A and B are shown apart, each in its own frame.
Chain A
Amino acid sequence: MPRFLVFVAALAFSAAALAQDVTFGASVQLTGPVANTGRYYKDAYEFAIDKINAAGGVKVGSQQHKIALKLLDNQSDVNLSVRQYTQLLTQEKVNFLLGPFASNFVLADSSIAEKASVPMVQGGGASDEIYARGYKYIFGTLPAASDYFGSTIEALGKLNPAPKTVALLYADDSFDVSVAKGTRDLLKKAKLQLALDEKYSTNASDFSVLLSRIKSSNVDAVLVAGHETEVLNFIRQSKSLGVNPKFYSFTVGVPSADFRHALGKDANGASGMTAWLPSSTLKDKWFGDAEQFAKAYKAKFGYDPDYHAAAGVAAVEAFVNAIEAAGSLDPNKVRDALAKSNFESLYGKIAFNDKGQISLPQIVIQIQNDQVVEVYSDNKFEHKLVYPLPPWGQR
């Protein structure tokens, strides 16, 4: 008799699960060298889905569905992530795909989504290459890599005296090559002289040669497109080699809490950019606004969210809105609804261009007195940029 009851309970449970849940699948970097950033996406996806489920879930037609998440660890291995996305579609039969972190992963994984005609919304890859292939099923909540330094270069032009020469360093992967390509055009338009233009290997740990060259060419501003490990090494070695450009800016790391934690006082003066800051003016259907979101997020995970987390949450919200607008779980209908997305969120206005990428301005930030300070946005200075940077001993 008890065995029969268990059987009935199991049957009821599985029937409920099958009928009700809308399942999102994702493969992210929970271990391996990129785990440090990959886990932001796990936290963001789970946080957003819990919140939306608590508010009743997603409405398809007249029926409320809970959202389930099938999350796999790709161990920071691109090949494994491709296999896992295939597995999510063929074996786990997930309804929709959320993206991994990093452009080179998105570049490979979006092909799986495209082949299966299942939409993927991702907040982890910004490289222009992702959107240059005419794909129909990829949507991204990070703005274009080629314009990452756009607002920074605009701000530099308004300084007095404005910097004249620039060094551009970038890692040899899809995102950073994309950034470098866009930045060269931006520099040309701004009539800034590119005195040093150098590619380095991903995961480089020794920057002494590049730093010596920066020092001997005496450039005013240094722009670095790379990964957080490289940026940390770059800044530490700048200090120990006494290399002191008037300005330096990095595509990654600066908005992240653990970046400031690892560098301490040496983080001061580093500039960067972010498409998102937790401002109360960004209203959100589920979280109230971005400030409340950031507080709740920190209370739960113990660290401040940066744009990675917000872009991940935005990806989930884009799906939920699109599913409700389509009134269906049909991948093609949801894909068309995604293409028409237009709503306010804690991350900003979510709308995709015809290639599938969002367009958001990059806010220029700088670390001043151990805090991230918003320096330049909407074509004007919000706070004073520390420029030229003081010598190393006085930061």
Chain B
Amino acid sequence: MELLAQVLVGGVLLGGLYALMALGLALVWGVLNIVNLSHGALIMLGAYATYYLFTGTGLDPFAALPITAIVLFVIGWLIQRGILNLVIRGPMFNTLLITFGIEVILTYLAQLLFSADFRAINPPYAGNNFRVLGITIPLMQVLAFAIAIGLTVAMWLFLLHTRVGRGIRAASQNLVAARLYGVNPRSIYALTFGIGSALAGVAGGLYGTVSQINPYIGGPLTAKSFAIAIIGGLENPLGVIVGGLVLGIVESLTALYAGSTYRDVASFGVLILVLILRPTGLLGRTT
């Protein structure tokens, strides 16, 4: 019983981080209609940015996250303005190819710049934990979970209640009508992609504090983010929380009862089930 509780808590904490990883991808997908295959590479860059801010300047990794977010926002903004904007009216296939290309370039640039050495963001308190009712709770994962949930909720409020947020939603729902009301899609798109990249960067920084970093972590993280975005649905940032938590818990219970090699079978099995039963995602409107 204690083991089950421990495993469930682990699954929930993992799910929080998954949610933040998927948030940027879901946002960009929903607004720009681009499945950003370079999303994982941006997570990887965020992890390196946080790592170098921490080891280079001694800045606490959590204090470094806002700087990471700004750096990744600029990178994302430039990628959208400089490259993606050229194919924004093109078919889906073109954007897939281009973002795949960006992924490859970023990955190999990272190996050139940072080498293939494994890194970990390891402040002195990284391994601390505390116990609640006999369950061990790792400090870093709780902090990562809290930031992930906080940012997701903040994103939701931003989209609902600010002028820019409403502009972003308008552009995603009906571009023609949005333009008639004075929304400038060029700046909205660049801004959205920038925010998506900044979120990826923060997720990367948090990922580096609980796992290890190398130039090749991006691919599997893109796949995971993609699954979460589909499970949760694109319409509502809270969907990715549901998607992340579902995935975290399903993976953990599978590892406990069926064996660790079945994790991916279970998580992508859930993805297929959701696509069959609720194609718009768990929090999407039913068709």
Q: Residue A241 at the B interface, CB < 8 A?
A: yes
Kindly state the separation between the CA atoms of A149 and B118 in the bound complex, as whole angstroms.
Answer: 25
- Encode A26-54 as 1/0 by CB contact (under 8 A) with B: 00000111011001000000000000000
Q: CB-CB < 8 A to B6: which residues of A?
A: 212, 215-216
Tell me the minimal C-beta distance from B61 to chain A in angstroms.
Answer: 14
Q: Do B256 and A262 have beta carbons less than 8 Å apart? A: no
Q: Do A236 and B211 have beta carbons less than 8 Å apart? A: yes
The residues in A between 288 and 321 inclusive whose CB is less than 8 angstroms from any CB of B are none
Q: Do A262 and B120 have beta carbons less than 8 Å apart? A: yes
Q: Do B120 and A236 have beta carbons less than 8 Å apart? A: yes
Kindly state the separation between the CA atoms of A262 and B209 in the bound complex, as whole angstroms.
Answer: 12
- SS class of chain A's interface: helix, strand, loop or mixed? helix
Q: Do A210 and B220 have beta carbons less than 8 Å apart? A: no
Q: Residue B158 at the A interface, CB < 8 A?
A: no
The residues in A between 261 and 291 inclusive whose CB is less than 8 angstroms from any CB of B are 261-264, 266
Tell me the minimal C-beta distance from A340 to chain B in angstroms.
Answer: 38
Tell me the minimal C-beta distance from A195 to chain B in angstroms.
Answer: 14
The residues in A between 222 and 243 inclusive whose CB is less than 8 angstroms from any CB of B are 228-229, 232-233, 236-237, 239-242
Q: Residue B111 at the A interface, CB < 8 A?
A: yes
Q: CB-CB < 8 A to B152: which residues of A?
A: none
Q: Do B122 and A232 have beta carbons less than 8 Å apart? A: no
Tell me the minimal C-beta distance from A130 to chain B in angstroms.
Answer: 23
Kindly state the separation between the CA atoms of A76 and B108 in the bound complex, as whole angstroms.
Answer: 13
Q: Do B136 and A242 have beta carbons less than 8 Å apart? A: yes
| Chain A: interface residue total (CB-CB under 8 A) | 41
Q: CB-CB < 8 A to B139: which residues of A?
A: 240
Kindly state the separation between the CA atoms of A41 and B127 in the bound complex, as whole angstroms.
Answer: 34
Q: CB-CB < 8 A to B252: which residues of A?
A: 206, 208-209
Kindly state the separation between the CA atoms of A264 and B131 in the bound complex, as whole angstroms.
Answer: 25
Q: CB-CB < 8 A to B138: which residues of A?
A: 237, 240-241
Q: CB-CB < 8 A to A201: which residues of B?
A: 260-261, 263-264
Q: CB-CB < 8 A to A258: which residues of B?
A: 117-118
Q: Do A233 and B211 have beta carbons less than 8 Å apart? A: yes
Q: Do B259 and A198 have beta carbons less than 8 Å apart? A: yes
* Residue of B whose beta carbon sits closest to that of A259: B118
Q: CB-CB < 8 A to A31: which residues of B?
A: 108, 111, 116
Given contacts A206-B251, A240-B127, is CB(A35)–CB(B116) below 8 Å? yes
Kindly state the separation between the CA atoms of A39 and B111 in the bound complex, as whole angstroms.
Answer: 12
Q: Do B118 and A236 have beta carbons less than 8 Å apart? A: no
- Encode B240-256 as 1/0 by CB contact (under 8 A) with A: 00000000000110011
**Of B7, B118, B256, most A-chain CB atoms within 10 Å:** B118
* Residue of B whose beta carbon sits closest to that of A392: B127
Q: Do B214 and A33 have beta carbons less than 8 Å apart? A: yes
Kindly state the separation between the CA atoms of A353 and B243 in the bound complex, as whole angstroms.
Answer: 54
A-B contact count (CB 8 A): 111
Given contacts A172-B261, A233-B211, is CB(A262)–CB(B14) below 8 Å? no
Q: Do A242 and B118 have beta carbons less than 8 Å apart? A: no
Q: CB-CB < 8 A to B81: which residues of A?
A: none
Q: Do B210 and A216 have beta carbons less than 8 Å apart? A: no
Given contacts A36-B118, A212-B3, A262-B119, is CB(A240)–CB(B10) below 8 Å? no
Q: Do B212 and A200 have beta carbons less than 8 Å apart? A: no
Q: CB-CB < 8 A to B3: which residues of A?
A: 212-213, 216
**Of B10, B111, B259, most A-chain CB atoms within 10 Å:** B10
**Residue in A36, A172, A204, A240 whose CB lies within 8 Å of B210:** A240
Kindly state the separation between the CA atoms of A261 and B214 in the bound complex, as whole angstroms.
Answer: 14
Q: Residue A199 at the B interface, CB < 8 A?
A: yes
Q: CB-CB < 8 A to B7: which residues of A?
A: 208-209, 212
Q: Residue B128 at the A interface, CB < 8 A?
A: yes
**Residue in B10, B129, B260 whose CB lies within 8 Å of A198:** B260
Given contacts A240-B140, A241-B129, is CB(A205)–CB(B117) below 8 Å? no
Q: Residue A203 at the B interface, CB < 8 A?
A: yes
Q: CB-CB < 8 A to B131: which residues of A?
A: 242
* Residue of B whose beta carbon sits closest to that of A232: B212
* Residue of A whose beta carbon sits closest to that of B129: A242
**Residue in A33, A209, A210 whose CB lies within 8 Å of B216:** A33
- Encode B68-88 as 1/0 by CB contact (under 8 A) with A: 000000000000000000000
Tell me the minimal C-beta distance from A12 to chain B in angstroms.
Answer: 37
**Residue in B117, B128, B261 whose CB lies within 8 Å of A240:** B128
* Residue of B whose beta carbon sits closest to that of A37: B116
Q: Do A206 and B14 have beta carbons less than 8 Å apart? A: yes
Q: CB-CB < 8 A to A215: which residues of B?
A: 6, 136
The residues in B between 91 and 131 inclusive whose CB is less than 8 angstroms from any CB of A are 108, 111, 116-120, 122, 126-129, 131
Q: CB-CB < 8 A to B117: which residues of A?
A: 36, 258, 261-262
Q: CB-CB < 8 A to B2: which residues of A?
A: 216
Q: Residue B141 at the A interface, CB < 8 A?
A: yes
Tell me the minimal C-beta distance from A294 to chain B in angstroms.
Answer: 19
Q: CB-CB < 8 A to A210: which residues of B?
A: 255, 260
**Residue in B210, B216, B256 whose CB lies within 8 Å of A236:** B210
* Residue of A whose beta carbon sits closest to that of B253: A209
9 additional A-B pairs beyond A35-B216, A236-B126, A240-B127, beta carbons within 8 Å, are A33-B214, A35-B111, A39-B116, A200-B261, A228-B118, A240-B210, A241-B138, A258-B117, A262-B212
Closest 5 A/B residue pairs (Cβ): A239-B127, A240-B138, A200-B260, A208-B10, A35-B116
User: Can you list 22 A-B pairs with a CB-CB distance of less than 8 A?
Assistant: A33-B216, A35-B116, A35-B216, A198-B260, A199-B259, A206-B251, A210-B260, A212-B3, A216-B3, A233-B212, A236-B126, A236-B127, A236-B212, A237-B210, A239-B126, A240-B126, A240-B127, A240-B140, A241-B136, A262-B120, A262-B212, A266-B127
